[in-house]
Amino acid sequence: MPFCVHRSDVLDELQNLGLTRYEARCYVSLAALGPADPAKVADDADIPKPSAYTALRGLASKGWADLVVKKPATYRAKEPSGIKSMVEARVEETFDALDRLYSPQPTLEAELVYTIRGGEKVLAKIYELLRGAKETVMLVAPAMGLEDAKTMELLSEALERGVSVRAICDEGGVGLLPPGVDIRTGNQVAFDLLVDDKVALIGLPDHSACGWIDSPAVASHFKQFIELLWSTSSPP
């Protein structure tokens, strides 16, 4: 059964949960097919066979699918209800961590959080922050948020300037980051950026919208959250 048009309405949401485009297509196909080999999934999802192998391994590493037979490789999709529980648990853990970091004490002056909408405008702000980085960059993103070539180029330039760059991404994002970045892996659902422990940006992984603030006080709390993610993530 070829990849049906009516399935496409869930692909964007699956990518927002941290899957790559091919992983999303493979999960939808695998859920419909039942246990299947990469060739069958590739045909149903209408993607190249080598990409299906990579995507299915990615789904297995993220807990979205199981390798049920090694030779020939056969995968089975995890039940959607189980995936839902896993995602909800991770979101709850994230916000529990934020609650522990949050300080209700008023600041001496109002802190303004600026909202940006539109891919070009969001990327322009990311470029601006990376160009201005002098000491440190901390980045948290799924692979989807690392596919912009200019962002990777600016990270390389920051490294050449002597800026320390750390990143937490999923397995699919490891190969996208330039050499010299200190990497940890873990499933991520948002694009987070902290520059020089001063400017913080939180956005959607497709760069359609973000919020940013230039405040060392707020950035300090944000850094604690990222450091917590770092400590609970694994080397690639």
- Per residue in 167-187, pLDDT tens? 999 888 899 999 999 999 988
Whether residue 50 sits in one domain with residue 122: no
Residue written as token pair 């050499």: 179
Same domain, 17 and 125: no
Residue 5: predicted pLDDT = 39
Residue 236 lies in a domain: no
Q: What is the pLDDT of residue 101?
A: 65
Residues 24 and 138 in one domain: no
Residue at a domain's end among 19, 49, 78: 78
User: pLDDT at residue 198 above 70?
Assistant: yes
Instruction: Please state whether beta strands 136-140 and 164-169 pair in parallel, antiparallel, or not at all (unpaired).
Output: parallel
Residue 85 within any structural domain of the chain: no
Q: Is the pLDDT of residue 161 over 90?
A: yes
Over 60: is that where the pLDDT of 116 sits? yes
- Per the model's pLDDT, the better-predicted residue between 122 and 188 turns out to be 122
Reported as type and span, the H/E element at residue 143 is none
pLDDT tier, 95 (very low <50, low <70, confident <90, very high otherwise): confident
Say yes or no: 133 and 49 in one domain: no
Show the domain range for 69: 5-78
Assigned domain for 83 exists: no
Count the neighbouring beta carbons within 10 Å of the beta carbon of residue 206: 16
Sorting pLDDT into bands at 50, 70 and 90, what band is 54?
A: very high
How many domains in the chain?
A: 2
Angle at 157 between CA 18 and CA 16, to 5 degrees: 10
Question: What are the distances in angstroms from CA 50 to CA 40, 46, 95?
Answer: 12, 12, 37
214 and 120 share one domain: yes
Tell me which residue of 87, 74, 12 sits closest to 41, measured CA to CA. Answer: 74
Mean of the per-residue pLDDT values for the chain? Answer: 86
User: Are 104 and 64 in the same domain?
Assistant: no
| C-alpha torsion 154→156→162→164, nearest 10 | 90
Q: What is the mean pLDDT of residues 7-19?
A: 77
pTM above 0.85, yes or no: no
Q: Which of 29, 44, 78 is the last residue of a domain?
A: 78
> b/e for 2-32, b at 16 or more Cβ within 10 A?
ebeeeeeeebeebbbbbbbbbbbbbbbbbbb
Average pLDDT rounded to a whole number, residues 82-108: 72
Residues 147 and 220 in one domain: yes
Q: What pLDDT score was predicted for residue 2?
A: 46
Q: In what order do the strands lie in the sheet with 199-203?
A: 114-117, 209-214, 199-203, 191-195, 136-140, 164-169, 182-185
Q: Which residue has the tokens 């422990």?
A: 197
Given this model, what pLDDT does residue 88 score? 83
pLDDT of residue 181: 95
pLDDT at 87: 82
Give the CATH number for residue 61: 1.10.10.10
Q: Is position 186 within any domain?
A: yes
Q: In this prediction, what percent of the chain has a pLDDT beyond 70? A: 90
**What pLDDT digit, counting tens, does each position of 124-146 carry?**
999 999 999 999 999 999 998 89
